[in-house]
Amino acid sequence: MEQVVIIGSGPAGYTAAIYAARAGYEPTVIAGSVTAGGNLVNTTEVENFPGFPDGIAGPELMERMAGQAARFGAKLVFDDVVEVSLRGPVKQLKTLGDQTFEASAVIVATGSSYKELGLASEKRLGGRGVSYCATCDGFFFKGKDVVVVGGGDSALEEAVFLTRFASKVTVVHRRAELRASRIVAERALAHPQIEFAWHSVVADIHGDGAVEGLTLRDVRSDELSRLDAQGVFVAIGHTPNSDLFKDQLALDSDGYIIVDGPAAPDDPVNAQHQATSVPGVFAAGDVVDRTYRQAITAAGTGAQAALDAQDYLEELAADAAIAAATV
């Protein structure tokens, strides 16, 4: 029986592990079999994580967090949780590798996954020119023309990154206003290899075995146009990884896990901000956050979740001591 099990190994999961380990709970982190390190593993340079004035590569940042957690006694398990039973005092988790874990407290930090366009051709050409990760696949598009779909920070960072390989990058965005932060947007807008297809969405992706081009639809006129390209990078945001918990924890309409949040001044009961609808289960990072979704904010709520779990475990221990004394 573990005291704390943490599901997920992005900034939230590892920060929760560092805090829980330093509190002496020897937490187990179920880090994922192929996705350990979370989304930052697919990022090139992280320039806004405090403490790294010259930036740091995403994978290296995650390795450092894992090492820091392990140094204080966190156990890292590279497996995937496939089944949970969270109600009651003993939480049970089963993994793809057939391991079972029992814990008094669980911290869910499962993050989010990329959104798809929802086209049949996108599925058919996945891995054959359609990609969701420029840092993973950009190298294969040397001297080619590629498209990036989306107008947020991810899309524009990917667009700029892809100019290292591609001869031309066209950003396809459904509005004429970018969602990306100013510095990222300005870098992309000023780049000589980046063009923009405004007010446009991808209606279809063409190619037999490899991407050859796209049909774009102008959302104002419904007019269709053809764009030749050999690669399509979809960067239209993420959805929370909460499917595993949908029958166990309260989720909002988009699938984000609902947590208590800050206490009202006259509400002495609500002290655990990251508490979910089930006692002893806490959630942190992108799986609870539809607003900020930054590495640093995920790390922050990860720390909060660990402190909340500590509070919960101390209450359990105090209740057990009182019960023992009154026997």
Bridge partners of residue 84, in order along the sequence: 93
Tally the C-alpha atoms within 13 A of residue 281's C-alpha that lie toward its C-beta.
Answer: 25
Active site residue 137: yes
Are 74 and 28 in contact, with CB atoms under 8 Å apart?
yes
Q: Is 160 in the site for ligand NAP (CB under 6 A)?
A: no
CA distance 92 to 104: 9
Tell me which residues in 271-310 interact with ligand NAP (CB under 6 A). Answer: 293
Write the CB contacts of 320 (distance below 8 Å, at least 6 apart in sequence). Answer: none
Are 176 and 148 in contact, with CB atoms under 8 Å apart?
no
CA distance 269 to 197: 52
Q: Return the sign of the alpha-carbon dihedral for residues 247, 248, 251, 255.
A: negative
Mark residues 171-190: x for contact with ligand NAP by CB under 6 A, - for none. ---xx---x-----------
**Minimum CB–partner distance for residue 300 and ligand NAP (Å):** 14
Bridge partners of residue 130, in order along the sequence: 126, 232
Active site residue 133: yes
Q: Is 10 in the site for ligand NAP (CB under 6 A)?
A: no
| 277 vs 297, beta carbon nearer ligand NAP | 297
**Minimum CB–partner distance for residue 129 and ligand NAP (Å):** 18
The single residue of 136, 243, 252, 267 carrying the catalytic annotation is 136
**Minimum CB–partner distance for residue 134 and ligand NAP (Å):** 11
Are 48 and 296 in contact, with CB atoms under 8 Å apart?
yes
Applying CB under 6 A, the span of 143-151, 261-269, 277-285, 306-314 interacting with ligand NAP comes to 143-151
Find the radius of gyration of the CA atoms of the chain.
Answer: 22
| 133 vs 278, beta carbon nearer ligand NAP | 133
**Minimum CB–partner distance for residue 138 and ligand NAP (Å):** 15
Tell me which residues in 186-225 interact with ligand NAP (CB under 6 A). Answer: 201
- Contact residues for ligand NAP, defined by CB under 6 A: 48, 149-155, 157, 174-175, 179, 201, 235-238, 293
